[in-house]
Amino acid sequence: MDEQQVNEDLHRMSIHLARIWHNGYAKRSDLTNEQWDSVMEAYIHVRRAITKGEDGKRYGARQAYQAMQGEWHMIGLDAPQ
């Protein structure tokens, strides 16, 4: 598996974590604060595992930001249900 494939896989994982965060946290689901902290920490660690490009940004940085803001339409995804 090459570095680009790893970055793409990690990016997809970060988008999934962003969906969990934004959808669940916004709706105040039954997770504890500790669990929400863990979701956020997982997101941060996954994003940091992605290597930076020549521009100094990590692969998919803009999409990841928009996902965390719940701007699903901006990244071509349907809003979480």
Using only the alpha carbons of the chain, give its radius of gyration.
13
Residue 81 lies in a domain: no
Q: Looking at residue 30, what is its pLDDT? A: 79
Q: Give per-residue pLDDT as tens, 21-78.
A: 887 776 767 788 888 889 999 999 999 999 999 999 999 999 999 998 888 666 666 6
Whole-number pLDDT of residue 77: 62
Q: Which residues contact 7 (CB under 8 A, 6 or more apart)?
A: 50, 51, 58, 59, 60
Q: What is the DSSP letter of 30?
A: S
- Tokens 């669990």 -> residue: 35
HEC states along 45-71?
HHHHHCCECCCCCECCHHHHHHHHHCC
Q: How many structural domains is the chain composed of?
A: 1
Note the pTM of the prediction, 2 decimals.
0.83
The pLDDT, as a whole number, for residue 69 is 86
Domain housing 37: 3-75
Query: Which pLDDT value is given to residue 80?
Result: 54
